[in-house]
Chain A
């Protein structure tokens, strides 16, 4: 037994109780501190004191330390979860923004698309109404604006990514610095062996906050410091912070780098990851779909508009909206191939049909211009157009195609039917003609070149004889001499006596003189057999005082471009001769139908030949012997090459994407340039019918969707994404709440619990104090014994 009666253990108990009380107080004080982990005083009985070697006596309580109650695994999961929530928040707000940009289902582009097609439907009810025409142009303008607004706001959204990431990078760098500082403090605090609980809590909280922004991996060192890694690069090493940086690469994509490294880090979690993903994937994907929609709307609409007929009638002059670029870099524009001319829309291999109309008589002449973008330049197109009678075409210095018509003439590209297809009068016309019995090419391989035949024109009393000589080099392949080659060769010799033509692919020779007295006779020279090889009759053809008037009505309803060729089967008078049949052949020479113009046919009445075409024939005589023939172009698409769209000849929309779509200012200034018609009648709504049909046409370039359906799909997809993002955010927040609850359950402060602890420590303290007082009394008693 020692002197003192255990005063020491009493003191220890007092200290322990006081520390316990202080810890409980600190816990209560930090009950609401984010990231605070409750602390607990670790008590243990002090080393016992051995007496006489037989028994030991306790010496009270020892405070081993004050520890944090933390589940490190849970902390890491929490950090990860915060990253997921951060990313989900970004996603959710982005999609909400995208939704609000589209403004559907009660506003936005769907209204404007409906508005445009609706305006067309309205104009269809009165194509001559100027205000309704203006309505279509305005509706087009509204649609363009809608597209541009969406495009602009999408690109702003994409552009804002960089700013947002930069803001977040600042947060990360701030946190890295502060974590490095904390590391330093913790290292020095714990060097003495103590636990720097509160510093650790603060650091853990900051690392978790960082996890919300990007994925960091923490590695705890023995010194107590935590190193942070971002994508394999050190962001914090002990007490030394590094930093991350943000920049745009060459393609304008936002990239994040760590420290001095220049290789972009692959950020997988957190807000930054979500922002980068949006920038590289979601927004551009959407932008490109909206662009695709705009592009195809422009293309299809313009295809129809450029081949329509404006209310003002055929054009007198027209200049393209787009010039060519100097594709071959020689300083000159217009001499490079169409495929290298830098057009927004590609020129295809195809045909352009241009019609020239005499403003006085209304007579029209149609010419086919073959377009091959791989062998022709814009100048070649211009010179081909220039070769058309009454047209002047050129490429201006800015590289734009310009076409002018002679005074008194107009031109257009509409697919309307030529009302008077036999312009040359090779079908019962007044000037005698002799046509081939078959379509070219002709086999002249059996001829000994040069081969000649004579053409006798004039009248029986005053004949003129011209000799035509064909040379071998007139033909690319004499075994397959084309009608065009023959026309060129014959016209070179024929002079003013007559003209050779290619009608429906058949060679026709026609005298320059008309009336009943004029005659035309062909005869071989020497032993030549050229005429029979060419299928030309040697019988004399007589002219006529009155021509058979051929006129066409209706609208061609066939799917593709067609050329009908009309040839009589026999000779006779329209409406008189028994069984005067005329064959109607298609471009391939197949029989379409046969019409009987003989007795029983009233001259001038319409005959339906199918595909919406009706033809009438006036009185007069026809001759199969002389190879009477005329051709009728029936066009579904008068520009299969898209050259009008590419060069912007009276286009409705300018631009090629959602960003630059706009209504052609020419149309805004003058709505009469709106091509509502196909023909020239005021009430013609032919092109409007085609434009209406576009509304319900499934376009291959839009994944076999109509324009409106494609847009609906975009809206639907954003809706699904946005709704998924909402759901994902909810789920992630739920998970985070669960994890936080778990963490609170372990590390959180329960005030009731602390109250109980406080009571218990208070009582311990009271008891220990009491014990000391008793021990003191006992000591006093002992001291007083000795008095």
Chain B
């Protein structure tokens, strides 16, 4: 038997139909209005689960994209500063070439020296470049100027106040880049080579492999060798006198009796006793001794102690054992020089050149000092040294150029990263849109279809509800 239908059933059915239609209608309307398919998690819980991480990713990528731009800006600013430094070094090279010309007088050189002095100030200024409030070349010490010119008894030096850390920021997922190059790597870059002595005293640089390592001094230096007295192995009757001394190291001695004489280093015998007597060695060195008693005929070796100083005599390292190398420290900058003293025989001044240690600043400082001849060197030494400086200028210039290249390379690699980040952004945004956004065409079509259904439901309901037997019983 078929189901009995009542008017109420028709009404409530019609009401449900209309309500349902209206509900879908309103949902589609929200979809079209907001442009989003998922307006609350229950619209599509699985979709909502994907939306949150995707949005988080997308925001992250936005930040990365900002970071890439920031990194490029920073790196380009750094590179621009270094290009200035490079131009400056180019000018220094021109001046050096000019100054090494033999026809120049010391006054001409002094004028060039004044320009070099200016350039030094400019170079320090470049080293202290800032972007906003941040110093570019001080590592993570961004608040204080990284380079400072210090002038003291040891001469002029530029000291680095920064550190060797770099601010690293993320520029692509899992990829970080350093925003800068710590300044000491650019301006104070060194490739230490052999340390050379002028061999005036017989002392030589230590270290065979690789040459000069272990020394930390930079540029040109001066090792002063002085006589500081006799070692305790000297015969008790012999003490150091006052007078000229240029002999240091082990010395042979020979006493003879009747007549009482003493010969030192195979030199002529001198009658005894002697007060402040000058003894000359066979190789022409002099030592002043006071000899009080007269021992029996005897011979042996005693040592004249040497005093070594690399800071102009501010601190003196005494040497009495001439078999082992000696380390001499510069009390102004703490740098050390290792000296092989085995063949050290006479006092004097060794001109020391620390190979490959000319960074941009020492190059300029040394050049300036040479041009102004602060140490009072002979003219040909000055010219010779200035000529030597040419390779050092080039080396320092190369370090700056390396910095330019490094920053330029990083900056250009930002282009690649940028397109990668943008690519990721687009694909994430697409995924997000795919999950969250309404397909407008489809939604609008649906909306229209729903409209038709709704209208139909209304019409049919109206029709059905009007029909009743009553209408026909007239």
Contact = CB atoms under 8 A, between A and B. Distances in A.
Contacts of B138: 683
B336 A603 contact: yes
A104 B165 contact: no
Nearest to A614: B164
Given A575-B336, A726-B42, A126 B5 contact: no
Contact of A718 (B4, B41, B169): B41
Contact of A716 (B12, B13, B45, B336): B45
A746 B1 CA distance: 13
B52 A723 contact: no
B163 interface: yes
A110 B52 contact: yes
Interface string A714-733: 01101111110110000000
B141 A681 contact: yes
B215 A719 contact: no
Interface string A381-404: 000000000000000000000000
Nearest to A720: B45
Interface stretch (B81-89, B202-210, B232-240, B421-429): B202-210
Contact of A95 (B8, B42, B59, B473): B42
A428 interface: no
Interface string A697-721: 0000000000011011101101111
Contacts of B216: 575, 602-604, 619
A100 interface: yes
B3 interface: yes
Contact of B468 (A105, A554, A600, A751): A751
A719 B4 CA distance: 41
Contacts of B164: 553, 606
A660 interface: no
A465 B139 CA distance: 50
A715 B142 contact: no
Given A745-B4, A750-B5, A99 B170 contact: no
Given A105-B38, A682-B142, A751-B470, A716 B9 contact: no
A685 B8 CA distance: 74
A725 B34 CA distance: 24
Interface string B393-414: 0000000000000000000000
Contacts of B139: 681, 683
Nearest to B38: A105
Contact of B210 (A600, A684, A751): A600
A128 to B, nearest CB: 6
Most buried by B among A128, A555, A603, A709: A603
B163 A745 contact: no
B73 to A, nearest CB: 10
Interface residues of A, number: 75
A515 B167 CA distance: 41
Contacts of A599: 206-207, 209, 213-214
B40 A104 contact: yes
Nearest to B64: A121
Most buried by A among B7, B12, B164: B7
Interface in A118-138: 118, 121-122, 124-129
Interface in B27-47: 36, 38-46
Contacts of A553: 163-165
Interface stretch (A50-58, A316-324, A499-507, A736-744): A736-744
Nearest to B467: A752
Most buried by A among B53, B143, B214: B214
Contacts of A740: 12
B365 to A, nearest CB: 20
B209 A124 contact: no
A748 interface: yes
A681 B142 contact: yes
Contacts of A2: none
Contact of A750 (B6, B209, B473): B6
Nearest to B62: A118
B362 to A, nearest CB: 16
B205 to A, nearest CB: 12
Contacts of A619: 216, 327, 329, 336
B102 interface: no
B133 interface: yes
A114 B59 contact: yes
Contacts of A99: 40-42
A194 B209 CA distance: 127
A601 interface: yes
Contacts of A31: 6-8
Interface in A745-779: 745-746, 748-752, 755-756, 759
A297 to B, nearest CB: 15
A718 B52 CA distance: 14
B140 interface: yes
Contacts of A744: 6, 8-9, 12
A684 B140 contact: yes
B67 interface: yes
Contacts of A713: 49
A683 B140 contact: yes
Most buried by B among A105, A106, A726, A741: A105
Interface of A: 31-32, 95-96, 99-100, 102, 104-106, 110, 113-114, 118, 121-122, 124-129, 546, 553-555, 573, 575-576, 599-604, 606, 618-619, 679, 681-685, 689, 692, 708-709, 711-713, 715-716, 718-723, 725-726, 737, 740-741, 744-746, 748-752, 755-756, 759
Report the 5 A-B pairs with minimum CB-CB distance, sorted nearest first: A719-B41, A719-B45, A575-B214, A722-B42, A682-B143
Interface of B: 3-9, 12-13, 16, 36, 38-46, 48-49, 51-53, 55-56, 59-60, 63, 66-67, 70, 132-134, 138-144, 163-165, 167-170, 192, 206-207, 209-210, 213-216, 325, 327, 329, 334, 336, 338, 436, 468-470, 473
16 contacts: A96-B40, A104-B40, A105-B48, A106-B39, A122-B63, A125-B66, A128-B143, A600-B209, A600-B210, A601-B213, A684-B140, A712-B53, A722-B45, A723-B44, A750-B7, A755-B468
